[in-house]
Amino acid sequence: MTTELVVDLRGTRIETIDDFWDAVSGPCELPSWFGRNVDAWRDTIQARGISNLIDRHDTLVVHVDGTTGFFSRKGREVRDLRSTFAGRRSRLVVHHSAKAAGGA
């Protein structure tokens, strides 16, 4: 049986990469020594061995708002973070409101 750890950050204010680290630290049970950078995150969600909670699941699924805030931007920092979810063991789901998607 495949198990998913779902972390729903919709409604959480994420304006910066540090806001993202703050938002995932608790729900993903990241240790205090976690590096708070994309390389450490990639190791955590793909290679494993950092978070016991993530390690107990086959897949990590993180839901975020994409209409405003950090994930609505196109910069390098956002691109780098999104790329960490490219493996089989993780998925980033960026939600856009119907209003934004419809262009109204």
The tens digit of pLDDT for each residue in 20-31 reads 999 999 999 999
The backbone region for 92, taken as left when phi is positive above 0, alpha when psi lies in -120 to 50, beta otherwise, is: beta
pTM of the model: 0.90
Q: Reduced to 3 DSSP states, what percent helix, strand and coil does the chain have, rounded to the nearest 5?
A: 40, 15, 40
**Among all chains, which residue has been given the structure tokens 């691109």?**
79
Residue 90 has pLDDT above 70, yes or no: yes
Report the distance separating Cα 24 and Cα 31, nearest Å: 11
Predicted pLDDT of residue 97: 76
Determine the Cα–Cα distance for residues 7 and 18; give it in Å rounded to an integer: 17
